[in-house]
Amino acid sequence: MRNNKNTDSPLRQLFQYMSPFHVKVKLATLFSVLNKLFDLAPPILIGAAVDVVVKGEESLIAGFGIKDPSDQLIYLAGITVIVWVMESLFQYLFEVYWRDLAQFVQNSLRKDAYNNLQKQEMAYFEDKSSGDLISILNDDINQLERFLDHGANDIIQVFVTVIVIGSIFMFSAPEIGWLAIAPMPFIIWGSVWFQKKLAPRYTKVREQAGATSSQLVNNLGGMATIKSFGTEVYEYNRISGLSENYKKANQSVIRLSAAFVPLIRMLILTGFIGILIFAGFKTLNGEMAVGMYSVLIFVTQRLLWPLTRLGETFDLYQRAMASTRRVMGLLKTKEILTEGTQPLNKNTVKGGYEFQNVNFKYRTGDPVLKNLNLTIKPGETVGIVGPTGAGKSSLIKLLLRLYDVTGGEILLDGRDLRDYKNEDLVHATGLVSQDIFLFHGTVLENISYGTFNATKQQILDASKLAEAHEFIMSLPEGYDTLVGERGQKLSGGQRQRIALARAILKNPPILILDEATSAVDNETEAAIQRSLYKIAINRTTIIIAHRLSTIRHADKILVMENGRVIEEGTHDILFTKKGLYHQLWMVQSGEIRFAHEKP
């Protein structure tokens, strides 16, 4: 099921996502407001101190019953201590709460995004770059964390500053207060204009970051291929080109965002000069107290100067919103196979399959399976062979329900696969594929992967059955040997036997091997064949084989071509039919050659 495009603003989506953290958001906001209120008090205290020095016993503070100027200054000093202590306290609190909130949101977003990513059907990953997905899960979520660390508090404090100081001007000197307020509409308009211009540029930056990350992931994963083909210079140039595009995208943003502060600074200058001159004239003419003039000068600076940081704050905000769009897009992706409701106990699974007029195609390309009909009896060992592109691996993907059929149905023990709970289907089947994936960890950890509660003895028994125990014990640390990323420290045959041991330990009623012996030596193939003979007892075993010797003794062999089963039977029956199977066998045995080959 495809997700609908979300039209909500990224900021609204972020707020909605943060609803579980609203208490922490409110407290962090409160501490930011209180910190700014106490931060704005010193200019008023300075004005009061000037008023005391100039007017003495006629100062404003004298009206509170403190007549002696020395006592007034001591009184102001006490208030100043309290203000600075409270400002420092609330700065500590808002920094702790905003940073904690950033960590909570970052942690929650990454877990939720990754969890949702895992739930997507395999078709979703056909058109997705793993590097771009990693960029979203890592870089974009980190960008949000940086915004919550600093940007959110800056926005709140600028807003509080405008409200508080604007109020001071309007109540204490309305006739000149407008001079400080006059630049505000232009500053706000300029900020909004810059925001609109920056938004698409930051989106481009994130796209270029994803493209660069994607290629880096591909290259690191294919380093052996790069080295074996001597394409280091080619790949360096490719990474250089992507990095250059990323740099240019950032430069486009930098050139525009860097212009913000100088332009805003000029607008601020007009307001500051206006207050400096007009309030100064009123003070010289005796129409305004010196202390009030001092307050107005200082609060004007406090009002207008922080606005120069709006450029940096909007820069951080736009980067965060570009990242939010990508993260929320991933969170809202719903390309998930419909969940069945029928439970499936793996201990009671018989393992009988029936394909009824099955059709299947990927999102692009021609149909892969066409009106496929076949039956696999419970407990049978079935081999599936055929030329490349016949549809063998696609059939396996349908059995595992990594994809759904596009027509017809597949029955397991008489019920449509789509009726069963996906989790139960996973437990009922074990897969050993041609492309073995081992995690960076020990041999023991890789064998027990997915069966985490297995005992050491169970792991040893599975390894022995897979004929892996002997070579494992010859490794430097035995079962505690690190296999390296993707098992690169082991040979292909060793990885195959570890994967087979992993599947045996899982003990599923249905075992599926997808080209498990295609890239191993004869000795490993023989070992896997011996293991299969033992583990196939009392379980349904389905083997896709390139090497026909692997499935020679199967109960039934299905020969596929062009998405259909064209032959079916045992090895002996198919060999005597002189059809495609016979031809494939003769080619592999070296008795005949393809028409284009030279003798």
Return the amino acid letter for 562. N
Ranges assigned E (strand) in 502-593? 510-514, 540-544, 556-561, 564-569
CA nearest 269: which of 244, 295, 300? 300
Q: Exposed e or buried b for every residue in 131-165, given b needs 16+ CB within 10 A?
A: bbbebbbeebbebbbebbbbbbbbbbbbebbbebb
Identify any residues that bridge with 442 across adjacent strands, giving them in sequence order: 482
User: In degrees, to the nearest 5, what angle opens at C-alpha 362 toward C-alphas 568 and 562?
Assistant: 30
Query: Is 311 within 8 Å of 158 (Cβ atoms)?
Result: no
3-state class percentages of the chain: helix first, strand second, coil last, to nearest 5: 65, 10, 25
Identify any residues that bridge with 342 across adjacent strands, giving them in sequence order: 420
DSSP 174-232: HHHHHHHHTHHHHHHHHHHHHHHHHHHHHHHHHHHHHHHHHHHHHHHHTHHHHHHHT-H
Instruction: Give just the sign of the alpha carbon dihedral 545, 550, 551, 554.
Output: negative
Q: Give pLDDT, residue 518.
A: 57
Collect the ranges in the chain with pLDDT lower than 50: 1-5, 593-599
Size of the chain, expressed as the number of residues it contains = 599
Phi-psi domain of 245 (left: phi exceeds 0; alpha: psi -120 through 50; beta: other): alpha
Q: List, for residues 526-560, the tens digit of each pLDDT value.
A: 777 777 777 778 889 898 887 787 788 889 999 98
Sheet holding 407-412, edge to edge: 369-376, 353-360, 407-412, 415-416
Q: Give pLDDT, residue 224.
A: 62
CA nearest 383: which of 531, 253, 526, 546? 546
Q: How far apart are CA 452 and CA 458, in angstroms?
A: 11
3-class secondary structure, 514: strand
Q: Give pLDDT, residue 178.
A: 67
Q: Give pLDDT, residue 592.
A: 52
3-class secondary structure, 128: coil
Q: Give pLDDT, residue 451.
A: 84
Return the amino acid letter for 75. Y
